[in-house]
Chain A
Amino acid sequence: MTANAQENPELDGYWKRSDAAVARAVGGDIFLAAPSEGSIHALNPMASAVWRVLEMPRTFREICTLFASAFPDEDPRQIGSDLSELLKTLEKNGLVGHVGPVTPHPDSE
């Protein structure tokens, strides 16, 4: 997987939903309000899926692994690249944040 945390330090650490973001599901789609930004966002299917997996904080690697499992026919490198771009966009809009970088556990590699 290409867009990993080692290659892109901006992705390091645990990604989580912003505490300030407010989500509402309407007809199966997710809409987010970011009060600090004064904006409302309609999430596309991929962003909605990311929002759902971020019900608990996850590393970029974990998110990529989940998506690769869900879409086995897709190129994992493309999935990583798309997720990288998406997470940065969501972060820029105050919808997700990440804490870290977190020092990897010695047994995790």
Chain B
Amino acid sequence: MAVRGSTGRERHSGTVDLALSAAGWSISFIGCPDVVTDLEAILHGWGLTRNAGGPPDAAIVKTDRGYGWESAKRSKPVLWDTRPPETTMNVISDVHDVLFDWYLADHPDLLCLHAGAVDFGPGLVCFPSVRKAGKSTLGVALASRGFCSYCDDVLPVEPHRLVGIAMGIAPLLRKPLPASLGEDLSAFIAKHAGPSNENRTYVCLGAEHAAPFGRRKPIQALVLLDRREAARASLEPIAKAEMMREVVMQNFGARSSPTLVLDSFAKLIETRNCFRMIFADVMEAADLLGEQFA
């Protein structure tokens, strides 16, 4: 029997409806079971259930020409109309991105900090994005040392309490991985390797090393990463104005008013310790951060 959901598409054999129960969403995957399997590998704490029923928020269809996206209400990844993806890895990384969009659309009161974040026990330490500074690799290195990864790229933040929210999405590392990672970290990454292609690989940390979707924790500090070719790992206080510039520049996607964003980030920067970390060896950096913040 054909069933029509909110996408208006009839249900066909080969369809998997994946409910993301923790967020209250559902996506139909038609003719692409490998995409479902890979999403199940990279999403943690989302309450994933196959074929739980209910109308899907979107449908992803594999065709001879690549993948298509149908969605009546929800946003779709940019470029799918003009340049749809052709590989499983590209589909899951686009779904990964669109989950942020949907989450922020459902929670317009949240700020969006472009940063990695790791729980050291007393609170989160955030690493605002600096191009190719290695925040994702550092987050995985910290996970290998027993600290809990919250995110490697985007941290939703409750503006009034300055609490970060885990998105439960596996970190994504660029390939090739640097030879300088060392044996222990390379082995850890290999053990937790998830979906990958020639350019990128997910690292599926799971419950042991990563916070599930929706877990909340106060932010305790911000660290601007300064990766160099050769340097001993060091942490030094950074001017509040410099950190504020970085954080404001990296804020995106928030639907909150600019005044709320400005007030919240000003409060965050003024009330939390702010550092710059110079480093070359990522494990040395991870150990120094552990000593400082745990």
Query: Taking beta carbons and an 8 Å cutoff, which residues of A are in contact with B?
Result: 22, 24, 26-29, 31-35, 37-40, 42
> What is the bound-complex CA distance between A38 and B245, given in angstroms?
17
- What are 13 A-B residue pairs whose CB atoms fall within 8 Å in the complex? A24-B266, A26-B270, A27-B239, A27-B242, A27-B269, A31-B262, A33-B257, A33-B259, A33-B261, A38-B258, A40-B251, A40-B258, A40-B261
B240–A24 touching, CB < 8 Å: no
Indicate whether B248 reaches chain A with its CB closer than 8 angstroms: yes
Indicate whether B241 reaches chain A with its CB closer than 8 angstroms: yes
Which A residues are CB-close (under 8 A) to B241? 26-29
A31–B244 touching, CB < 8 Å: yes
Which B residues are CB-close (under 8 A) to A37? 258
From B243, B244, B258, A33 is in contact (CB under 8 Å) with B258
Q: If A35-B257, A40-B251 touch, does A29 touch B244 (CB 8 Å cutoff)?
A: yes
A42–B248 touching, CB < 8 Å: yes
> What is the bound-complex CA distance between A68 and B127, given in angstroms?
42
1/0 contact string of B247-288 vs chain A (CB within 8 Å): 011010000011101110010011000000000000000000
B224 to chain A, nearest CB (A): 13
Top 6 closest A-B pairs, CB basis? A27-B240, A27-B241, A29-B241, A33-B258, A33-B262, A26-B244
Q: If A26-B244, A42-B244 touch, does A34 touch B258 (CB 8 Å cutoff)?
A: yes
Question: A23's closest neighbor in chain B, by CB?
Answer: B262
From B244, B251, B258, B263, A27 is in contact (CB under 8 Å) with B244
A24–B262 touching, CB < 8 Å: yes
Q: Which of B240, B251, B262 has the most CB of A within 10 A?
A: B262
A28 to chain B, nearest CB (A): 6
B105 to chain A, nearest CB (A): 16
Question: A30's closest neighbor in chain B, by CB?
Answer: B241
Which B residues are CB-close (under 8 A) to A39? 258
A62 to chain B, nearest CB (A): 28
B258–A35 touching, CB < 8 Å: yes
Which B residues are CB-close (under 8 A) to A22? 258-259, 262-263
B261–A42 touching, CB < 8 Å: no
> What is the bound-complex CA distance between A35 and B260, given in angstroms?
10
Question: A38's closest neighbor in chain B, by CB?
Answer: B258
Q: If A34-B258, A35-B257 touch, does A26 touch B263 (CB 8 Å cutoff)?
A: no
> What is the bound-complex CA distance between A33 and B257, given in angstroms?
9
> What is the bound-complex CA distance between A31 and B269, given in angstroms?
13
Which B residues are CB-close (under 8 A) to A42? 244-245, 248-249
> What is the bound-complex CA distance between A35 and B241, given in angstroms?
21
> What is the bound-complex CA distance between A19 and B258, given in angstroms?
15
> What is the bound-complex CA distance between A47 and B266, given in angstroms?
19
Which B residues are CB-close (under 8 A) to A26? 240-241, 244, 266, 269-270
A31–B266 touching, CB < 8 Å: yes
> What is the bound-complex CA distance between A35 and B257, given in angstroms?
7
Which A residues are CB-close (under 8 A) to B239? 27
Which A residues are CB-close (under 8 A) to B266? 24, 26, 31
- Given A28-B241, A29-B244, list of 6 further CB < 8 A pairs? A22-B262, A26-B240, A27-B240, A27-B243, A33-B259, A34-B258
Q: If A22-B262, A24-B263 touch, does A29 touch B257 (CB 8 Å cutoff)?
A: no
Q: If A26-B269, A33-B258, A35-B258 touch, does A40 touch B263 (CB 8 Å cutoff)?
A: no
Question: A26's closest neighbor in chain B, by CB?
Answer: B244
